[in-house]
Every structure is written in C-alpha cells, then in structure tokens.
C-alpha cells in the first residue's frame, strides 16, 4: 500500500534527516559520548480526553499512555523492537503444550511510596499481588472488555469465577492462577494461546496493590512503574508525575532508570494551541500533528530542522490504528447487510483523506480493518469497498429502499476533543445525502457519553478508532468476536459494540488464536477478515500516520506504531540550557 501523505520533497528529506539526530542514538553511543544526563521535566500534550484512572476501564490513548508510566505488568513491550521483554517477572517458562506459564518475579520491585502502606513506604511486589490483580480483573463490573480480552475462555477457572457473581451462589475458586511462593506464580490456560504474553502487556493486566484499591477505590494511582503520581489540576487539566527513586530497571549499560525528574501532561484541546506552545519551547513534544501544519512549519523555518544541532526533530510514524464508523446491528435498518454495504460504497474515503484530513493519514482504509503494516499480514489480498455510488444505489434498492425512499433518519455520534472528526462527519453526511438520499444527523458529545451510548447501543452510527495493543491482526479482529456479546440486548457490549455475531467468523478466530504457527495463524485471521468485509458491521475509513515534533534536546524517545511511550529511557541532552518550567501552557 502506498502512503497518502503528499509533502514537498524538502519536507520528506527533513523527516529522513531527523531520524539521524541524537534521539535515535544507541545507548552505547550515547554513553560513550557522555550525553546522558539525569534530571529535567518532559512536557507533552494530549488533546484527547482522559477517561479514567481505573486501569481496568481505560479506553483512551491518553489514559493508557499515562498509565504506562505509573504501572508495570508481568511483561512489557520493547518500544523499538516491539518484542516482549521482562517486567515485574524477570523470567518465565512455558510447558511443552503451551498451556502453563510459570513466572519468576524480581525481588527488587516495590510499589510507590504512598500513605496506603504502613509508614507510607511502598512495599515489595509479590506473587500474591499478581493473584489479587487478576482476581480483580475477573470480577464483574470492574472492566470495560479487558476480562474478555485477557482471561475469558483462556485462563482456567476465570469464566466460572466471573459467572459466580451473577448467580445466587458463593464465589467459586479461581484455580487457573496459583501462587507457588512469594516470587513465583503459575497461570494455567484452557487452550493454547500463542499471544497470551502479549495480552499481559495491556492495562487490564497491570499489577496493583490491594492496600491502594481499598484506600482509594478503582481510581487509585499507585503502581510500581518508573514514575509515580504527584498531583492533578483540573481547570485546566494537568497531570504531574515524579521520578520513582526505587524503580527496579536499568538500561543496557547499567544506568539507573528513569533519567527524568518529572513528567507533566497537558490537555490543550486544539492542535493549534499545542503547536504554538511547542514553538514557544513550553512543550517538548507535539503529537499527532496535521500534515498541513507540519508542511507550513518546515517551509517557514527550514533552518530549524537543518542546523547542527537542529532546533527541532520531525518524525513520521505509521501507526497500528484504524479509524472507522461503528454500526449498531440492533437497529433493524442497519441489520440489513445490503444497507450497510450501500452506506460503505457511498463514502468517498479517498476524498475524505485528501481534502478533509489534508493527507493526515497513512491512507484510506479500502482493504480492511487491519492496517497495512502489521508484520507478516498482507492486506493487499483483500478486495475492500471503494467509492461506487452506482453500486451503493443498487444495493439500497435491493434492500427495499429505492432512491432512499422509506429510509429512517439515522444518528451519528462522535466525541468531543477531535475537530477533524467533526469535519469528516460533515463530509460523510453530505455524501450519504447526495448519493443515497439518506438523512443523517450528527452530534458531538463528551467521550464518556459516546462510549456509554456505544456500549449500550443508544444510537445508530458511532465514530470510533482502535489502536492495537500488540502487533497482530487479532488485536483488531477481536472487536468482531461474537462470543463476547451478551445475550441480553439491554446489557453493555464491549469491545464488540456492533453486537456482530457470525459463527463462521468465530470459528476461524478461535482456530487462529490457538494455532502455534504464526504464518498459518495469519492465514486463518485473513479468512476471518474476509467474512468481516462481506458482512461489514463497521466501515473502516482510514489508517493513521502520526507526525511528531520533538525539541532536539529530547533523546531516546522511541516512537513506534503502538504509541508506546517509554519515558523511563528519555533523557535531556541540554538540560542546563532549558528554560525553567514556570510557563503554564494549559492557560492558553
């Protein structure tokens, strides 16, 4: 698939040159040059709303990025290779049949110092904390889908434990997770799940302390990660995190992590405001920038990128992210497959990407739900749906609505905090009215309301986006797995908010999930995705690409398709030259 970002050659050259700046210098080279420095504050902004501190209920990228700095799981994903690496567990072993995992915990991991612990001193993390965290994950009402993604149908005893809360019976034993001793824990699966370790890197599997949950509830902010929560300001919102002086990790050269003293996350609502604050050196990173803004900035001040050293570093990162419209299949009109396909054929995705997004995308999602850059998974084989208004009108007529006559008015709901999504909605609604005579009204609501409405099916069409938790097509195709849909139509459904159920799809997905061979697993996933493309419970719109600007003194911030920000490795090369952090960007 070709990129759809059309920038001047000078801009592309600058992006390529930027990749050779100190930001991407190896640890050995950095140390040899004496570049690494302790201290300083890293400041960045998220325009997306922060939805919750509850690790079991996180759904926004902003919440997950913050949580990654505060919490640790048994294992983690390396920010450069995207391969698994040790976390709280220093090592693990797997049985020959792939169904029993034994984790050996580090003995030098401590929860953050906090009043919830005796004397305010963070205690040692033990296997009993892992057991408590997974038992909490399996408790109904605690999670927005993480139970289904990590435990349900996979870990022995998890389903029975979960269901015991919904019946008039005593709590049953959760025997699939067994504490061997203080620093060993065993997890037994019901079937082989090759990507199980990757699943354990999600926020739902972060290890929490019972004392913190009992004192602060589900919104506790106490983990064992590189930074600990310091304070939060609401109007306007800012989150402050400070260095965890007792963090257990070191870099490959034995340097104690993290290097930074603190991290401040701002929540400016516009990209224009964010870019302005970055240009004023009050933010260290500008994230998810519009391509036009990047183009204008480079052309107006090209020397800022070509100096030695440069003032700014520009990077372009294709993400494992798909933006799509979710369709509520409980709506009788949208339950008709021909109607869904008619809507899809009437959307000119190429025009949306080119003229509305101003090429701020990896490309129109014409092939499928899975982005084009998942290793070993070729989406070019899929014949997706491209703009064809004649086919759209024919399908709508075949569905019983010739010329759009008799079609109900539909409602499209999108969350606030994303101006570009409103522009996209305006264009798509116009296209549907022009080509199909469909009447669609759209409304912008706060993210929590949009999320609740989508889970409960209180609407027709919802703007949604999904970022993979790990590099596999299953991270996207799990959205359409029918066995997560509740029998009660009034009960919340997540992540399958479409309430899509197809037995053939589920069978292929199950086979893929347990197949030991990665290439054969991808073949099975591709067959499932072909079923999705024929049924189309959601309409993929575009695949994301991310433009990021960094101040040139930011080093070892490795950007990647999963948007994993490992700030523990970041250091500031020219800390002594930085302006004092007295400017409050959030007041702008």
0.75 surpassed by pTM: yes
Tell me the average pLDDT across 406-430: 91
- Give the pLDDT confidence score for residue 546 in this predicted structure: 83
Least reliable range by pLDDT among 143-152, 327-336, 416-425: 416-425
Report the b/e string of 495-522 with b at 16+ CB within 10 A: bbbbbbbbeebbebbbbbbbbeeeeebb
Alpha-carbon gap, residue 309 to 302, rounded angstroms: 13
Angle at the Cα of 345 from the Cα atoms of 344 and 349, rounded to 5 degrees: 75
Tell me the average pLDDT across 145-169: 87
- Give the pLDDT confidence score for residue 13 in this predicted structure: 55
- pLDDT at 346 > cutoff 90: yes
- Give the pLDDT confidence score for residue 271 in this predicted structure: 84
- Give the pLDDT confidence score for residue 25 in this predicted structure: 44
- pLDDT at 163 > cutoff 90: no
Q: Please count the CA atoms within 13 angstroms of the CA of 113 that sit on its side-chain side.
A: 10
- Give the pLDDT confidence score for residue 540 in this predicted structure: 97
- Give the pLDDT confidence score for residue 325 in this predicted structure: 98
Judge contact between 319 and 561, C-beta under 8 A. Answer: yes
- Give the pLDDT confidence score for residue 581 in this predicted structure: 44
Could you tell me the two tokens for 441?
A: 């009204």
What does the pLDDT look like over 478-503, one tens digit per residue? 999 999 999 998 899 999 999 999 99
What does the pLDDT look like over 57-111, one tens digit per residue? 998 889 999 999 999 999 999 999 999 999 999 999 999 999 999 999 999 999 9
User: Distance between alpha carbon 124 and the CA centroid of its chain, in Å?
Assistant: 29
DSSP β-ladder status, 184-188 and 177-181 = antiparallel
- pLDDT at 137 > cutoff 50: yes
Judge contact between 223 and 125, C-beta under 8 A. Answer: no
Q: What is the DSSP letter of 170?
A: P
Which residue is listed with tokens 């057991």? 131
Alpha-carbon gap, residue 384 to 378, rounded angstroms: 13
Cα–Cα nearest to 396, from 337, 338, 435, 344: 338
What does the pLDDT look like over 387-403, one tens digit per residue? 999 999 999 999 999 99
- pLDDT at 379 > cutoff 80: yes
Tell me the average pLDDT across 213-235: 95
Helix (H, G, I), strand (E, B) or coil at 305: helix
Could you tell me the two tokens for 43?
A: 């400041």
Q: What is the DSSP letter of 233?
A: E
More confident residue, 297 or 562: 562
- pLDDT at 287 > cutoff 60: yes
Which helix (H) or strand (E) segment holds residue 265: the answer is strand 262-266
Cα pseudo-dihedral 468, 474, 478, 481, rounded to 10: 170
Residues forming beta bridges with residue 321, ordered by sequence position: 467
- pLDDT at 12 > cutoff 80: no
- Give the pLDDT confidence score for residue 168 in this predicted structure: 58
Alpha-carbon gap, residue 255 to 176, rounded angstroms: 38
Alpha-carbon gap, residue 101 to 332, rounded angstroms: 45
- pLDDT at 586 > cutoff 70: no
Judge contact between 39 and 260, C-beta under 8 A. Answer: yes
- pLDDT at 6 > cutoff 60: no
Alpha-carbon gap, residue 561 to 546, rounded angstroms: 9
Judge contact between 73 and 196, C-beta under 8 A. Answer: no
What does the pLDDT look like over 431-486, one tens digit per residue? 999 999 999 999 999 888 999 999 999 999 999 999 999 999 999 999 999 999 99
Show Cβ contacts of residue 528 under 8 Å, excluding neighbours closer than 6 positions: 477, 505, 508, 509, 512
Tell me the average pLDDT across 281-306: 84
- Give the pLDDT confidence score for residue 14 in this predicted structure: 57
Which DSSP string corresponds to 397-461?
A: HHTT-GGGTTPPPEEEEEESS-HHHHHHHHHHHHHHHHHH---EEEEEE-HHHHHHHHHHT-SSE
Local confidence band at 157 (pLDDT 50, 70, 90 cut-offs): very high
- Give the pLDDT confidence score for residue 582 in this predicted structure: 42
Could you tell me the two tokens for 157?
A: 């005893």
- Give the pLDDT confidence score for residue 153 in this predicted structure: 93
Alpha-carbon gap, residue 505 to 489, rounded angstroms: 21
Least reliable range by pLDDT among 30-44, 187-201, 525-539: 30-44
- Give the pLDDT confidence score for residue 36 in this predicted structure: 67
Which DSSP string corresponds to 467-494?
A: E-SSSSTHHHHGGG-GGGS-SSTTS---
């Amino acid at each position: 698939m070709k990129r759809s970002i059309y920038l001047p050659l000078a801009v592309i050259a600058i992006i390529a040159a930027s990749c050779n700046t100190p930001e991407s210098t190896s640890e050995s080279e950095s140390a040899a040059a004496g570049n690494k420095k302790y201290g300083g504050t890293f400041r960045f902004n998220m325009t997306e709303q922060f939805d919750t501190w509850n690790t079991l209920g996180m759904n926004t990228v902003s919440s997950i990025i913050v949580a990654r700095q505060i919490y640790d799981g048994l294992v983690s994903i390396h920010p450069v290779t995207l391969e698994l690496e040790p976390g709280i567990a220093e090592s693990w072993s797997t049985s020959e049949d792939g169904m029993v995992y034994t984790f050996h915990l580090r003995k030098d991991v401590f929860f953050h110092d906090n009043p919830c612990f005796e004397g305010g001193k963070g205690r040692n993390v033990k296997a009993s904390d892992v057991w408590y965290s997974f038992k909490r994950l399996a408790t109904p009402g605690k999670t927005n889908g993480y139970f289904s993604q990590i435990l349900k149908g996979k870990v022995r005893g998890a389903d029975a434990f979960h269901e015991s809360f919904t019946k008039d019976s005593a709590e049953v034993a959760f025997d699939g997770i067994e504490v061997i001793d203080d620093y060993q824990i065993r997890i037994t699966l019901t079937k082989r799940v090759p990507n199980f370790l990757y699943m354990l890197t999600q926020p739902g599997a972060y290890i929490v302390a019972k004392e913190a949950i009992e004192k602060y509830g589900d919104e506790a902010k106490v983990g064992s990660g590189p930074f600990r929560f310091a304070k939060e300001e609401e109007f306007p919102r800012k989150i402050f995190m400070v260095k965890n002086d007792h963090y257990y990790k070191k870099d490959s050269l034995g340097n104690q992590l993290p290097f930074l003293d603190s991290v401040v996350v701002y929540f400016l609502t516009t990209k224009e405001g964010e870019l302005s604050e970055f240009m004023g050196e009050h933010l260290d990173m500008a994230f998810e920038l519009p391509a036009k803004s990047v183009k204008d900035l480079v052309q107006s001040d090209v020397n800022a990128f070509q100096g030695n050293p440069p003032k700014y570093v520009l990077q372009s990162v294709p993400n494992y992210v798909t933006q799509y419209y979710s369709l509520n299949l409980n709506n009788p009109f949208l339950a008709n497959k021909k109607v869904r396909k008619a809507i899809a054929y009437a959307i000119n995705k190429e025009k949306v990407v080119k003229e509305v997004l101003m090429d701020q995308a990896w490309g129109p999602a014409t092939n499928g739900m899975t982005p084009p850059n998942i290793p070993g998974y070729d989406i070019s084989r899929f014949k997706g749906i491209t703009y064809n208004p004649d086919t759209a009108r024919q399908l709508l007529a075949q569905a019983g609505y010739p010329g759009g006559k008799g079609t109900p008015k539909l409602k499209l709901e999108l969350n606030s905090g994303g101006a570009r999504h409103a522009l996209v909605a305006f264009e798509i609604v116009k296209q549907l009215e022009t080509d199909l005579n469909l009447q669609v009204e759209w409304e912008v609501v706060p993210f929590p309301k949009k999320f609740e409405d989508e889970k409960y099916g209180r609407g027709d069409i919802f703007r949604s986006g999904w970022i993979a938790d790990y590099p596999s097509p299953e991270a996207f195709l799990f959205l359409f797995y029918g066995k997560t849909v509740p029998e009660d139509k009034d009960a919340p459904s997540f992540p399958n908010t479409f309430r899509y159920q197809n037995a053939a799809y589920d069978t292929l997905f199950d086979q893929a999930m347990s197949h030991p061979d990665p290439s054969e697993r991808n073949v099975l996933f591709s067959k499932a995705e072909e079923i999705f493309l024929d049924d189309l419970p959601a309409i993929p719109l575009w695949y994301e690409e991310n433009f990021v600007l960094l101040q040139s003194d930011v080093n070892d911030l490795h950007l990647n398709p999963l948007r994993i920000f490992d700030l523990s490795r970041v250091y500031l090369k020219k800390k002594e030259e930085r302006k004092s952090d007295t400017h409050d960007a959030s007041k702008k």
